[in-house]
Amino acid sequence: MQSSMAGSEDDNHHLIRSDDRQHPANLIPELCRKFWSLGWVTGTGGGTSIRDDDLVYLAPSGVQKELMKSEDIYVLELSKQVDPKKRVYLRSPPSLKPSQCTPLFIAAFTKRGAGCCIHTHSQWAVLVTLLLENQPANKTLFEINNIEQIKGFGKGYQKQGALGYHDTLRIPVIENTPFEEDLTESLEAAMDMYPDTYAVLVRRHGVYVWGETVHKAKTQAESLDYLFQLAVEMRKLGLPWLSDIA
């Protein structure tokens, strides 16, 4: 590592420097590269954050997600965040900006004890919100049942086990705002209204998905994207998302 890249002691560079592939500062760039290849974080949109106990690792704003490096990662202490308008970072890479998704990731960590939160701009997620927007009722809830992939979701916060094949998966939808950080209040309200959800759709924007671990957040994000794509295709074929098979 060149000293110019390593920065000074003040940068807290040691927080993001590890040979362990599973270290959050190594894992976030690797995950973002995978998500970029899926079209989830195109054009610097979307992001990922991992919490390790009280330390939160965040992808920065405006960085091409497939080119991100460990050096680009922000770090903060969750317990030290008193005022959302004056966020305190342990590590702030020079010449980068913190992600506007930060308060939304923090909501998943503080309100749901999540270990990882993934935000995608997947076209399937956006299309599902558009389909809901154009239906006469129930514009703010995506529901689907009797699809095998639903088993990829946990039953809910502090509940054991996964959803079953016949269970109905429900994902609330919140309205988009011009500035991403302004979504925080409605995202938190959706979490309160649907305490068992692991995801919130944002109309015409994308989805936030979280899980207790990186593994769970990633598999839930993948399962969800699969279901969103399926749902769009089902709607094109005139097939309902809910069926009464039991």
**What is the residue-wise DSSP string for 146-190?**
S-GGGGGSBSSTT--SB--TTSEEEEEEE---SSGGGGHHHHHHH
Percent helix / strand / coil, the chain, rounded to 5? 40, 20, 40
* 101 labelled ligand-binding: yes
Which two tokens mark 38? Answer: 């899926």
CA angle 185, 90, 47 (to 5 degrees): 50
Distances in whole angstroms, Cα of residue 228 to Cα of each of 112, 123, 130, 218, 233 = 23, 9, 12, 15, 9
**CB-count burial class (<10 Å; 0-12, 13-18, 19+) for 117:** buried
> Binding site annotation covers 121?
yes
Give the active site residue among 71, 77, 148, 185. Answer: 148
- Count helices and strands in the chain by DSSP H and E runs: 6, 8
Q: Among residues 90, 88, 85, 87, which one has the least CA distance to residue 75?
A: 90
Q: Calculate the dihedral angle through the C-alpha atoms of 161, 47, 115, 199, rounding to the nearest 10 degrees.
A: -30
Q: Is 71 a catalytic residue?
A: no
* Binding site, annotated residues: 101, 119, 121, 205
Annotated binding-site positions for Zn(2+): 119, 121, 205
Catalytic residues: 148
Binding residue numbers for substrate? 101
